[in-house]
Amino acid sequence: MNWLQRLFSRKRLERELEKELRFHFEAQVSDKVRSGVSDEEARRLTRLEFGGFDQIKEDCRESRGTMWVESIVQDIRYGIRQLRKSPGFSITAVVTLALGIGATTAIFTLVHGVLERSLPVADPSSLYRIGDKSTCCYYSSLESDDGDFDLFPYDLYLDLKRSSPEFEELAAVEAGGGSQPVRWGSSPSMPLRSEYVSGNYFAMLGVGTYAGRPLTQNDDRNGASPVVVLSYAAWQSYFAGDASVVGSTVYVQTHPFTVVGIAPPSFYGDRIVERPPDFWIPVSNEPIINGQGSDLWPKGEEDSAWFYLLGRVRPQTNITALQAKLSAMLRQWMSTQVQFTAHGGAALIPRQHVVLTPGGGGIQKLQAQTGKGLRLLMILSSIVLLIACANFANLLLARGTSRRSELAVRMALGAARIRIMRQILTQSVILSVMGGAAGVAIAYALSRMILLLAFPHARNMPVNASPSLVVLGFAFVVSLLTGVIFGTIPAWYSSQAEAAEAFRTAARSTGDRTSMPQKALVVIQVGLSIVLISGAFLMGRSLANLENQNFGIATANRYVLRIDPKGAGYSIQRLSALYQRIEERFSALPSAKNVSFARYTPLDGNAWGTCIVQQGHAAPGPQDKCFSSWVRVSRHFLQTVGVPIVRGRDFSAMDTQDSTPVVLVNQAFARQFFPNQDPVGKHFGLMSPRNSGAFEIAGVFADFKMNDPHGNVEPLFLRPLTQQYLGYTEPEAISGEQNSMFLNSIILQFSTSQSDVEDLVRRALAEVDPNLTIFYFSSYDAQVAGNFNQDRLIARLTSLFGVLALALASVGLYGVISFFVTRRTTEIGIRMAMGSSRSAIVSLVMRGALGPILIGIALGIPAALFLGHLSASLLYGITGTSPLACIVATAALAASALIAGFVPARRAASLDPMDALREQ
């Protein structure tokens, strides 16, 4: 038997020990009786000889070698018994810790699942990415002011791949990724997410397939038959897990592709996104889908960069040297590209470079977006945990003090101090582990909620709310440490009981040393609460500022939907008829007011940008500000989104293909490009001075937020649906112009609020053309609100943490003051008997709590200002060091402290002096 078995057969061993000693005893008695002693005398003598029965047993147990485990088991049983006797205390302690541990673990689940995640591929540590940003999604100019590149065109990728043997494999992956209508068999077209990848993508990652084969280099060459690999999740949800899909043909935007394989279930691609790719297409197939609009190879002078590069580096590669080499190659390539050398751009080439970053976690796009917020939440939730711990320690201290006389008796009877300390510690560990277990449940619910709120459009997102082993380990360690660290001080204080003193002063204290640590804990709680409440205030104000700002557009009773006429097979020639039919059909919907088309809608997160050239100006240099967003819209667009014309005119029925090409510009555009001039009647063009007379400004419209609701309004111009500019000679400009004719967004305005409008709209569209799929449908209010998902989430969590902190601190304060009252009942009785007034008693009690609260506030305010300073970049319309936040936090805390203190103070004041004195 090893000690573990012995431990579990403890009952049997105990029984046998008793039996064995009993046998000895009886044998000795019968021997004595046989030698002539009376039975009674024999028993008495034998008992004397034996000495302490229990002492012998204890020595035997000890020699079994399981004593230490057994006594811990005993302590645990004793602890549980003790805790059951005071359920109020135990539940409060467990709930307090569960809240703290739950909050921290929930955030840690996300930090672990998002920020510290490795791709599910072979040996992620040898993956490196060329680039350290997440620039999106197409670029054909300098990518950043400091010369950092992370998007690459296809031909440069091939160059780098050919001349970098340091990479075992270097793969190119699409930076953006889009939705494609896909049909299989007789199924209706399904909007699936796609990602273009180089042929060596799966080989580079070391990922195989669940069924079929992965993409190979052979699939990625000119003239190879078009193939795709499906993700496992897409195969399950769109193809019903049908094995016959492998080897069959699917139609992507009407083009036939063979499905050659299904990726493994755990594989979600090269980055964490809300909606991971449903299928991967070899890069060389891109021209099949995009036809004339293909961006794979350079068109004229323009070479589009739209790939991230991810590769597996050979062992013992010098990363610094490789980075320098790749940067040199980038500069070498740029110096041969007119798009970078023209108009003084050559001077900027020397500082262009790339940064190699570890790629084991994949493309860190989501991580870059959420990292700051998550880290802030990690700090805030840890503060909640600290407050909870302080409360926990406080509860234990109070309990320890109220058990002082009991402990003193036990020690007087010979209990070892160390054993008593251990028992108290065991109890706190039991409580903290229970709190941890409850905390894990809270954490699961909380992280689920966070994920739902943060990523409402997620589909197969590879971030899970269920705690992983690491997270469970984290929660366990945190709760164990809490129990040990915050249980030690109370254990030590309680075991200091001197029997005589403990008996004498049971309820007659006028102040004692145990209240010192309690006061220190109140200081900590108050200070940390100030930090959390002011943080909650800042985030809440910032969110309110964001949501209630004037976006410049009207959204009430408006709905946005997106379709893909190009994917459904429409040519430019057939478009205007289609738009007319849709407009007529939708206008016939009950209480429909306006129907408009737009390439992109305000605040949907998209717009095209371009460099504009004013008529009569030289070509702008690479550092001149020439950038403006632009959108092609239908005639009533501005009317539909409620944007007024401030100068000139709106689009009209007279703007046709044959009339003067006109544009409308916003006020920011007018300010930037035509300061102190009347922009109406002026001309400008795009990209090159050759085209600078292309468009005439017909009017100026009021500013509204098109892209980023956090930023200022940027220059924007609108072009009418009816006018395709035919004056371009550059192939890239021609294909860009052609693409811009496809308006994928429709805005519907109703005169009254609607219900079930989505069904209505779907049916109406199906009447126009059953092949048109609605990719997206949303009320305009929801679309705008969607811009603030993260801000809202952070604000809500911060206020949740703030409220928790305040509640915990109040409970802590209440506990300390009540305790103070109980301990000084006799003193209060004497004071009252001597004629002290009730209000004097209240103020005596409150005064005791005032000191630590003031110190806590004094320490909390600078800490709050510091945290506000750190989180400044997450705030909108309020500075991180706003004094208002500190004032609000102090006021909230003072109010709750007042309530927490007043209840026990009143109880003290309403004591009957006689009762109070008689109590001891």
- Residue 24 CB: number of other CB atoms within 10 A? 13
Q: How far is the CB of 18 from other proteins (least distance, A)?
A: 11
Q: Which is nearer to other proteins, 13 or 718 (CB)?
A: 13
- Contact segment (CB under 8 A) with other proteins among 43-51, 409-417, 558-566, 567-575 equals 43-51
Spatial neighbors of 82 by CB under 8 A, at least 6 apart, are 427
Q: How far is the CB of 66 from other proteins (least distance, A)?
A: 9
Q: Which is nearer to other proteins, 60 or 680 (CB)?
A: 60
Please give the residues from 165 up to 224 whose contact with other proteins meets the rule CB under 8 A.
none
Phi and psi at 213, nearest 5°, equal -125, 160
Q: How far is the CB of 54 from other proteins (least distance, A)?
A: 11
Q: Is 866 in the site for other proteins (CB under 8 A)?
A: no
- CB 361 within 8 Å of CB 117: yes
- Contact segment (CB under 8 A) with other proteins among 23-31, 219-227, 348-356, 396-404 equals 23-31
Q: Is 123 in the site for other proteins (CB under 8 A)?
A: no
Q: How do 558-562 and 148-149 pair as beta strands?
A: unpaired
- CB 115 within 8 Å of CB 108: no
Considering only residues 34, 36, 40, 48, which one is a binding residue for other proteins as defined by CB under 8 A? 48
Q: How far is the CB of 39 from other proteins (least distance, A)?
A: 16
Q: Which is nearer to other proteins, 56 or 680 (CB)?
A: 56
For residue 613, the Cα-to-chain-centroid distance in whole angstroms is: 42
Q: How far is the CB of 47 from other proteins (least distance, A)?
A: 11
Q: Which is nearer to other proteins, 60 or 785 (CB)?
A: 60
Q: Rounded to the nearest 10 degrees, how much is the dihedral formed by the CA atoms of 143, 149, 151, 154?
A: 110
Q: Which is nearer to other proteins, 1 or 577 (CB)?
A: 1
- CB 214 within 8 Å of CB 280: no
Structure tokens at 908: 């003290």
Q: Is 571 in the site for other proteins (CB under 8 A)?
A: no
Q: Which is nearer to other proteins, 11 or 84 (CB)?
A: 11
Considering only residues 64, 112, 343, 365, which one is a binding residue for other proteins as defined by CB under 8 A? 64
Q: How far is the CB of 69 from other proteins (least distance, A)?
A: 14
Q: Is 28 in the site for other proteins (CB under 8 A)?
A: yes
Q: How many alpha carbons fall within 13 Å on the CB side of residue 396? A: 36
Instruction: For residue 239, give the amino acid letter.
Output: F
Q: Which is nearer to other proteins, 17 or 774 (CB)?
A: 17
Considering only residues 5, 9, 38, 55, which one is a binding residue for other proteins as defined by CB under 8 A? 55
Q: How far is the CB of 425 from other proteins (least distance, A)?
A: 29
Cα–Cα dist 756/880, whole Å:
43
Q: How far is the CB of 23 from other proteins (least distance, A)?
A: 5
Q: Is 41 in the site for other proteins (CB under 8 A)?
A: no
SS (H, E, C) 398-433: HHHHHCHHHHHHHHHCCCCHHHHHHHHHHHHHHHHH
Query: Can you give the C-alpha Rg of the chain in angstroms?
Result: 37
Considering only residues 7, 60, 69, 807, which one is a binding residue for other proteins as defined by CB under 8 A? 60
Q: Is 414 in the site for other proteins (CB under 8 A)?
A: no
- CB 585 within 8 Å of CB 762: no
Q: How far is the CB of 418 from other proteins (least distance, A)?
A: 22
DSSP secondary structure string, 816-872?
HHHHHHHHTHHHHHHHHHTT--HHHHHHHHHHHHHHHHHHHHHHHHHHHHHHHHHTG
Question: Counting Cβ atoms within 10 Å, is residue 716 exposed (0-12), middle (13-18) or buried (19+)?
Answer: buried
Q: How far is the CB of 10 from other proteins (least distance, A)?
A: 14
Q: Is 18 in the site for other proteins (CB under 8 A)?
A: no
Q: How far is the CB of 45 from other proteins (least distance, A)?
A: 9
Q: Is 781 in the site for other proteins (CB under 8 A)?
A: no
- Contact segment (CB under 8 A) with other proteins among 25-33, 111-119, 683-691, 908-916 equals 25-33
For residue 733, the Cα-to-chain-centroid distance in whole angstroms is: 40
Write the DSSP symbol of residue 749: E
Q: Which is nearer to other proteins, 49 or 678 (CB)?
A: 49
Q: How far is the CB of 805 from other proteins (least distance, A)?
A: 53
Considering only residues 41, 62, 406, 584, which one is a binding residue for other proteins as defined by CB under 8 A? 62
Q: How far is the CB of 48 from other proteins (least distance, A)?
A: 7
Q: Is 255 in the site for other proteins (CB under 8 A)?
A: no
Q: Which is nearer to other proteins, 28 or 836 (CB)?
A: 28
Considering only residues 41, 49, 678, 781, which one is a binding residue for other proteins as defined by CB under 8 A? 49
Q: Is 726 in the site for other proteins (CB under 8 A)?
A: no
Closest CA to 112 of 470, 594, 400, 420: 470
Q: Is 59 in the site for other proteins (CB under 8 A)?
A: yes
Q: How many alpha carbons fall within 13 Å on the CB side of residue 18? A: 6
Write the DSSP symbol of residue 111: I
- Contact segment (CB under 8 A) with other proteins among 61-69, 322-330, 791-799, 822-830 equals 61-69
The helix (H) or strand (E) run that includes residue 481 is helix 469-494
- Contact segment (CB under 8 A) with other proteins among 19-27, 344-352, 495-503, 750-758 equals 19-27
For residue 32, the Cα-to-chain-centroid distance in whole angstroms is: 81
- Contact segment (CB under 8 A) with other proteins among 47-55, 363-371, 658-666, 749-757 equals 47-55
Considering only residues 56, 507, 544, 803, which one is a binding residue for other proteins as defined by CB under 8 A? 56
- How far, in Å, are 270, 392, 408, 476, 503 from residue 490 at the CA level? 51, 10, 15, 21, 19
Cα angle, residue 254 at apex, residues 249 and 258 outer, rounded to 5°: 20
Cα–Cα dist 87/91, whole Å:
6
Q: Is 23 in the site for other proteins (CB under 8 A)?
A: yes
Closest CA to 814 of 854, 846, 860: 846
Closest CA to 740 of 756, 726, 760, 759: 726
Cα–Cα dist 749/760, whole Å:
14
Cα–Cα dist 776/191, whole Å:
10
Q: Is 39 in the site for other proteins (CB under 8 A)?
A: no
Size of the site for other proteins (CB under 8 A): 24
Spatial neighbors of 625 by CB under 8 A, at least 6 apart, are 672
Considering only residues 35, 63, 186, 755, which one is a binding residue for other proteins as defined by CB under 8 A? 63
Closest CA to 279 of 382, 366, 201: 201
Considering only residues 12, 15, 24, 574, which one is a binding residue for other proteins as defined by CB under 8 A? 24
Q: How far is the CB of 398 from other proteins (least distance, A)?
A: 42
- CB 533 within 8 Å of CB 887: no
Considering only residues 50, 775, 776, 902, which one is a binding residue for other proteins as defined by CB under 8 A? 50
- Count of helices and strands (H, E) across the chain: 29, 25
Q: How far is the CB of 59 from other proteins (least distance, A)?
A: 4
Q: Is 35 in the site for other proteins (CB under 8 A)?
A: no
Considering only residues 26, 242, 708, 767, which one is a binding residue for other proteins as defined by CB under 8 A? 26
Phi and psi at 359, nearest 5°, equal -110, 10
Q: Which is nearer to other proteins, 48 or 469 (CB)?
A: 48
- Contact segment (CB under 8 A) with other proteins among 63-71, 196-204, 700-708, 762-770 equals 63-71
Q: How far is the CB of 56 from other proteins (least distance, A)?
A: 5
Q: Is 68 in the site for other proteins (CB under 8 A)?
A: no
Residues binding other proteins (CB under 8 A):
16-17, 19-21, 23-24, 26-28, 30, 48-52, 55-56, 59-60, 62-65
